[in-house]
């Protein structure tokens, strides 16, 4: 048993994580040296353009990286609090998720109970042939020692918490009978059914319209206040980050290029990539018709097989220093307390 990570409030620590895909065409360094800490009860927003390694980071934490991908280096540690007679006590136990086998009983229990995933596309994790109730009940009965009647009560409770207007009725419905927003609420209810200490939300509202998105975001914020769980909120939308996150990690090409509290990211961004992302937020009332399209950042995300020399962002950067940024890769430096930047122009 370990000290409560030095009195710190860290729930999950990711250190020098590298997750690569080994393909015939070459090696994709999807996650290439990520360090992050997720604090208890707080929301870490993870932002970046499509393909920068957000989902693979999440899947690495959950240990569900698909083949031919694998974690090649680094450590992921869960600081699990021990429950004593229903109350959490000050003790925590350190579990190295990277030492567990992905399909081991312990990792499966962690995946079901402590770390839950809300994915982008709800249909992918809902069964079309079982009722909502059966699917939630199954999760509850798998992880808790309760009767079927108690599980049913709990299912109704979590559906209500996830904002389902008629939770008891929803239990008997099939997912095809529900709208996208209602399906996403079911997924959130399923995730909540085991009282996770971390909810990983991977672009959970990208497939939804703006109004439904606003409702889901409100529900998630409410749940966090109520349940005190940590959230890793993945999105390409900085507008959503502003509403959801306490801390923000900006990813580019498998690395975190800037990390700080949400106010600092918005008011004092230091990395040219973060600044470009901020400039690409549609202004209020100017929501683009297809919100999945990220407004322009000059140039293209580099080919994952052929990373540019030096800083990965240098070919697209307005302030790149010739002879430096295209030669040498900067390291992540703390420019002020709690504010990390990986850029020569920021230090």
- Binding partner of 51, given Mg ion, ligand ADP, none, CB within 5-8 angstroms per partner class: ligand ADP
Total number of residues that touch ligand ADP (CB under 6 A): 15
Judged by phi (left if over 0) then psi (alpha if -120 to 50, else beta), residue 246 lies in alpha
The helix, strand and coil proportions of the chain, stated in percent and rounded to the nearest 5, come to 35, 30, 35
Burial 98-107 (b: 16+ CB within 10 A, else e): bebeeeeeeb
CA 311 to chain centre: 25
- Binding partner of 66, given ligand ADP, Mg ion, none, CB within 5-8 angstroms per partner class: ligand ADP
Residue nearer to Mg ion on the CB measure, 55 or 314: 55
Residue among 14, 56, 232, 249 that touches ligand ADP (CB under 6 A):
56
Residue nearer to ligand ADP on the CB measure, 69 or 312: 69
Of 63-92, binders to ligand ADP (CB under 6 A) are 66, 69
By the rule CB under 6 A, 21 interacts with ligand ADP: yes
CA 103 – CA 139 distance, rounded (Å): 17
Instruction: Tell me which residue of 52, 43, 33, 34 sits closest to 11, measured CA to CA.
Output: 43
Please state the closest distance from residue 254 (CB atom) to ligand ADP, in A.
Answer: 7
By the rule CB under 6 A, 219 interacts with ligand ADP: no
CA 336 – CA 338 distance, rounded (Å): 6
CA 43 to chain centre: 9
What does 182-227 look like in DSSP terms, one character per residue? HHHHHHHHHHHTT--SEEEEESTTTTS-HHHHHHHHHHHHHHHHHH
Residue among 30, 276, 325, 341 that touches ligand ADP (CB under 6 A):
30
Sign of the Cα pseudo-torsion (200, 198, 62, 139, in order) = negative
Q: How many CB atoms lie within 10 A of CB 34?
A: 24
Of 11-70, binders to Mg ion (CB under 5 A) are 54-55
| Site stretch for ligand ADP (CB under 6 A), options 9-17, 23-31, 83-91, 218-226 | 23-31
Which residues have C-beta within 8 Å of that of residue 153, sequence separation ≥ 6? none
- Binding partner of 69, given ligand ADP, Mg ion, none, CB within 5-8 angstroms per partner class: ligand ADP
Of 255-314, binders to ligand ADP (CB under 6 A) are 304
By the rule CB under 5 A, 235 interacts with Mg ion: no
CA 338 – CA 270 distance, rounded (Å): 13
Please state the closest distance from residue 293 (CB atom) to Mg ion, in A.
Answer: 15
Please state the closest distance from residue 22 (CB atom) to ligand ADP, in A.
Answer: 9
| Site stretch for ligand ADP (CB under 6 A), options 52-60, 141-149, 207-215, 314-322 | 52-60
Instruction: Tell me which residue of 323, 316, 320, 324 sits closest to 298, measured CA to CA.
Output: 316
- Binding partner of 304, given ligand ADP, Mg ion, none, CB within 5-8 angstroms per partner class: ligand ADP
Q: Which residues bind Mg ion (CB under 5 A)?
A: 54-55
* Contact set with ligand ADP (CB under 6 A): 21, 23, 28, 30, 48, 50-56, 66, 69, 304
């Amino acid at each position: 048993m370990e000290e409560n990570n030095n009195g710190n409030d860290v729930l999950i620590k990711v250190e020098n994580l590298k997750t690569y895909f080994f393909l015939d065409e070459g090696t994709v360094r999807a996650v290439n040296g990520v360090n992050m800490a997720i604090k208890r009860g707080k929301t870490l927003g993870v932002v970046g353009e499509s393909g920068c390694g957000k989902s693979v980071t999440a899947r690495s934490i959950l240990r569900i990286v698909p083949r031919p991908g694998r974690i090649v280096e680094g450590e992921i540690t869960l600081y699990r609090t021990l429950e004593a007679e229903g109350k959490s006590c000050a003790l925590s136990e350190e579990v190295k998720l990277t030492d567990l086998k992905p399909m081991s009983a312990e990792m499966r229990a962690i995946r079901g109970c402590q770390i839950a995933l809300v994915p982008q596309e709800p249909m992918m994790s809902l069964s079309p042939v079982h009722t909502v109730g059966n699917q939630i009940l199954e999760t509850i009965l798998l992880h808790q020692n309760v009767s079927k009647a108690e599980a049913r009560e709990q299912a109704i409770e979590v559906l209500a918490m996830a904002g389902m207007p008629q939770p008891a009725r929803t239990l008997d419905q099939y997912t095809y009978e529900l709208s996208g927003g209602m399906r996403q609420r079911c997924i959130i209810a399923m995730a909540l059914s085991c009282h996770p200490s971390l909810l990983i939300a991977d672009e959970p509202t990208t497939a939804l319209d703006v109004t439904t998105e606003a409702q889901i975001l409100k529900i998630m914020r409410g749940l966090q206040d109520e349940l005190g769980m940590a959230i890793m909120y993945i999105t390409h939308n900085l507008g959503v980050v502003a509403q959801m996150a306490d801390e923000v990690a900006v990813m580019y090409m498998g690395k975190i290029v800037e990390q700080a509290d949400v106010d600092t990211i918005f008011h004092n961004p230091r990395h040219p990539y973060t600044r470009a992302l901020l400039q690409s937020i549609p202004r209020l009332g100017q929501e683009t018709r297809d919100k999945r399209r990220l407004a322009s950042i000059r140039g293209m995300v580099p080919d994952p097989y052929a990373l540019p020399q030096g800083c990965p962002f240098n070919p697209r950067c307005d302030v790149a220093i010739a002879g430096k940024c295209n030669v040498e890769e900067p390291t992540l430096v703390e420019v002020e307390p709690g504010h990390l930047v990986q850029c020569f122009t920021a230090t």
